[in-house]
Structure 1
Amino acid sequence: MITMTGKAIRRWWALFALPTALAFIVAFIIPLAMGIYLSFTSFRTMTDAKWTGLDNYRQAFSDPEFANALWRTVAFTIVVTVLVNVIAFAVGYMFTKAMKGANLFRSVFFMPNLIGGIILGYIWQLLLNGVLALFDKSLTYSAVYGFWGMVILFCWQQIGYMMVIYIAGFQSLPGDLLEAAQVDGASGRQILFRITIPLMMPSITVCSFLTVANGFKMFDQNLALTNGAPSNTSEMLALNIYRTMYSRTGFEGVAQAKAVIFFIIVAIVAIIQNRITTSKEVQA
């Protein structure tokens, strides 16, 4: 029976893989290739593209707002990656312990992830501006308040999702290993840092990868919460690319070049982060 199944798979694998492969080519490979090509052209529509070489990239790198948005996005991503994963790990660890109402609290923490970024942005704009009004401040008049407002919003949305992944990791830990450590006299701190965290590295790898990618790509929350105000000093990289494309006539090619640079940066950072965390994984 196993031999027959193996022969059938070897014979018909292409038939089953073809739909997914076609969807991947149509939805990812072709748009990526066209986007890279358009980054070397001047265009208004797909049919009137004219080759300009590296001119778009020169303009992109010479744009001070693009450079500022890049460094702001890097700083934002570092901050939220640390905060989201530390808090989600702690909350997930807490909810795996025996406590009343754990399932209810899990649902409450996860719910913000179900709300769209635009809606969250406007909700938190009202909340944060209401608090800052007590100090005669506003999100849209301070780059510092705008930055930390986006950090709060992002963490509030992402912590619940990462918590679920960490809970699944905690529940898969070998109980006999933890019990053996307790019997040997290991303290709770030793068990956490020398056993639990090393065994949780696969979950940490996944969560940190998702947080890094989502932090770099944040757009709708930025648009709704601050819209780049004041004077684009709270503008993230995705919003900068969007504005270059749709608010500056004749800069479509430059915006596309910025998007390609953005893609390369995110890919490199994600690969490095994934390799670093994967190298620290251990087998139970």
Structure 2
Amino acid sequence: MERALKRYWPIFILPTLLAFLIGFIVPFVQGLYLSFCQFTTVNNAKWVGLSNYIKVFKDTTFTDAMKFTIAFTVVSVILINVLGFAIALALTRKLAGTNIFRTVFFMPNLIGGIVLGYIWQILINCVLSIVGEPLLALNTQAGYWGMIILTCWQQIGYMMIIYIAGLQNIPDDLIEAAQIDGASSWTTLWRIKLPMVMPSITICMFLSLTNGFKLFDQNLALTAGEPYHSTEMLAYNIYNTFYARAGAQWKGIGQAKAVIFCIIVVAISMIQLKATRSKEVQQ
């Protein structure tokens, strides 16, 4: 069997490699080229050099969307991971009904972002109308915190499952040895559990960070960028540049925004991965 795999490995790799080339590499290279062009379709692209990139940073909606996305991502990443880890700690204490709670917390992750957005739009608008505050379409602060609540509600359960797997992978001998040495629960958490669960933290930080930056459907359904683009995130801003603005020049500008967006997400993700992996403990 092993000899057959070594002999025929190209047969197994070729379909995946072709799918990767056709579905990712070719569109990425073509998109990079189009970011330097003015076009309405791929076949009528006209080279304009760095003009699109210059116009991107003159577009205040893009810079405002970047600031909003960064502010949103920082808060959501902290809340998702802190709450997800806290719930995981609580549900690994062998309490009655933990499996039910795990299912309940995980269920929001199974619901689509568009559906969640519209559900929370109705709920938040009802609460705002009761307390006499402007509705989401006219309330930037409510839109921002509504996005935070929605994202946390959807993603905490997923991160909780990853943290539970990490906590359950900690050898019982280490916990017992700490208890015998008189370590408190707080000391055990900081000195043993957190260092041992760093691989899970790396994964959860990466997922919540990238999800925060590329959030689109929840933004579209909950606030649609209102009021006056003040709650518009980067992915939704790029979408609006392509489809809500008329004229061939906006296609190239939208593509340039997409390239800048890709670079930002990749750079921040790589920094985060390097920072958290350096803290991992070899087991």
Runs of 5+ in structure 2 lacking a partner? none
Q: Which amino acid aligns with 1:246?
A: Y
**What is the alpha-carbon distance in structure 1 between the residues aligned to residue 280 and residue 58 of structure 2?**
41
**What is the alpha-carbon distance in structure 2 between the residues aligned to residue 175 and residue 158 of structure 1?**
29
The equivalent of 2:252 in structure 1 is: 253
For residues 176-187 of structure 1, the aligned pairs below 5 Å read: 176-187=173-184
- Residue 200 of structure 2 corresponds to residue 203 of structure 1: yes
Q: SS of the residue aligned with 2:182?
A: coil
Q: 1:227 aligns with which of 203, 208, 224?
A: 224
The equivalent of 2:83 in structure 1 is: 87
- Residue 8 of structure 2 corresponds to residue 12 of structure 1: yes
TM-score, structure 1 length as denominator?
A: 0.97
For residues 40-189 of structure 1, the aligned pairs below 5 Å read: 40-137=36-133, 138-189=135-186
**What is the alpha-carbon distance in structure 2 between the residues aligned to residue 248 and residue 283 of structure 1?**
52
Percent identity at matched positions? 56
TM-score, structure 2 length as denominator?
A: 0.97
- The Cα shift of 1:24 comes to 0.9
**What is the alpha-carbon distance in structure 1 between the residues aligned to residue 4 and residue 176 of structure 2?**
46
**What is the alpha-carbon distance in structure 2 between the residues aligned to residue 22 and residue 88 of structure 1?**
38
- The Cα shift of 1:8 comes to 3.5
Q: Which amino acid aligns with 2:90?
A: M
Q: Which amino acid aligns with 2:107?
A: M
- The Cα shift of 1:237 comes to 0.5
- The Cα shift of 1:10 comes to 3.1
The equivalent of 1:271 in structure 2 is: 270
Q: Which amino acid aligns with 2:19?
A: A
- Residue 247 of structure 2 corresponds to residue 243 of structure 1: no
- The Cα shift of 1:218 comes to 0.4
Worse-matched range after superposition: 44-53 or 11-20? 11-20
The equivalent of 1:216 in structure 2 is: 213
- The Cα shift of 1:75 comes to 1.0
Q: Which amino acid aligns with 1:57?
A: Y
Q: SS of the residue aligned with 1:282?
A: coil
Deviations 1:133-160 (A, max 9, x none): 1222212211111011000000000000
- The Cα shift of 1:19 comes to 1.1
**What is the alpha-carbon distance in structure 1 between the residues aligned to residue 232 and residue 138 of structure 2?**
13
- The Cα shift of 1:18 comes to 1.1
Q: SS of the residue aligned with 1:283?
A: coil
**What is the alpha-carbon distance in structure 1 between the residues aligned to residue 229 and residue 217 of structure 2?**
15
**What is the alpha-carbon distance in structure 2 between the residues aligned to residue 184 and residue 30 of structure 1?**
59
**What is the alpha-carbon distance in structure 1 between the residues aligned to residue 200 and residue 137 of structure 2?**
37
Deviations 1:138-194 (A, max 9, x none): 122111110110000000000001011111111111111111111111110000001
Runs of 5+ in structure 1 lacking a partner? none
- The Cα shift of 1:117 comes to 0.5
**What is the alpha-carbon distance in structure 1 between the residues aligned to residue 121 and residue 63 of structure 2?**
26
**What is the alpha-carbon distance in structure 2 between the residues aligned to residue 106 and residue 231 of structure 1?**
39
- Residue 188 of structure 2 corresponds to residue 191 of structure 1: yes
Q: Which amino acid aligns with 1:186?
A: A
**What is the alpha-carbon distance in structure 2 between the residues aligned to residue 118 and residue 83 of structure 1?**
22
Deviations 1:192-219 (A, max 9, x none): 0010000000000000000000000000
- The Cα shift of 1:80 comes to 0.5
**What is the alpha-carbon distance in structure 2 between the residues aligned to residue 257 and residue 217 of structure 1?**
16
**What is the alpha-carbon distance in structure 2 between the residues aligned to residue 22 and residue 179 of structure 1?**
51
